[in-house]
Structure 1
């Protein structure tokens, strides 16, 4: 993603998957790079498993927008069952989609009938292998860095080291790095 003054990221996940935490960690990584940030969720009293949305803005200049993100530069989907018209709402010609799936980018793109760049990573499989749980948020952060370069991997590593300790810190650092290496995009 070429450097834009303001990058808007919209996360779609289910309660308990860590979409809101991923949004927050991405924003904190932007802050490490002296950028202006916003991060906030949109959910009500839903139970675990209910769809949630989270938003992140990262900018080189002060952010004067205080609303949900309606035309995202990057759409992050933590659960492929959520992929549908609502998730793709507001897609622009240069928007990117990053989805946690075991499908190939071309398979996702064929289903969408939209002209946007599609990136895929099997974050669930990676998280199960490394964490022993299907918590995909940190894997998605590694994939976000590769797909967009809106923050550096060094900044992501810093926020993970601050957020987690001990074995969990080491596992999440490994998860981020493997997701960065294994995320793929359509041709």
Structure 2
């Protein structure tokens, strides 16, 4: 089973990213679950979402304590939350950042998801939306296929800028 924990802030699209990732996994003929963990927070408060992907039926619906992959949609969360807690040995962290980030004992990939969202004017209530560009990055990483990422996005959103953002992230991420 491949387990993913997504750290974001309310309004950035982390919960929707988890749903899109699960949807894309289904399209790739996998089993998947997606679940958010948050209280009555407001826009901008830390939110954690979880995704499990497997070839077998998934019967676990708890929080993910030992993820294979951690996604950080807002780097400032790392100042207040131990995002690396429980990561599997050899695990990967994907961070939304225009600059390289060095973290001990993990594989780190960085991509400027915010810049990509802004470049296609993918903004809601003044905040760049990061859920669809991160799907393109996950496709580049091989977590899902590019085709399933685009199909999941089109299944949820009619605005083609979402697909453009995913395509830009797919092209930009260096793995």
C-alpha distance in 1 between matches for 2:49 and 2:140:
20
Aligned residue number for residue 136 of structure 2: 142
Using the TM superposition, give the Cα deviation of residue 132 of structure 1 relative to its aligned residue in structure 2, in angstroms: 4.4
Superimposed CA distance per residue, residues 127-169 of structure 1 (whole angstroms, 9 cap, x where no aligned partner): 011024211111111111212x12101001111111111xx1x
Give CA-to-partner distance per residue, 1:47-95, whole Å, 9 cap, x none: 1000000000010011122210011111001001112552110012221
Give the corresponding residue for 1:51: 46
**Counterpart in 2 of 1:79?**
74
Runs of 4 or more, structure 1, over 3 Å off, are: none
Using the alignment, how far apart are the partners of 2:149 and 2:51 within structure 1? 14
SS in 1 for 2:58: coil
Query: Which structure's residues are more often helix, by fraction?
Result: 1
Q: 2:116 is matched with which residue? A: 126
TM-score (normalizing by structure 1): 0.87
Q: Deviations over 1:83-133 (max 9, x none)?
A: 2552110012221000101112xxx11xx2x21111111010110110242
Is residue 93–residue 106 contact of structure 2 (8 Å, CA) maintained in 1? yes
TM-score of the pair, normalised by structure 2:
0.93
Q: Return the offset for 1:13.
A: 0.2
CA offset at residue 184 of structure 1?
2.6
> Which segments of 5 or more consecutive residues in structure 1 lack a partner in the other structure?
1-5
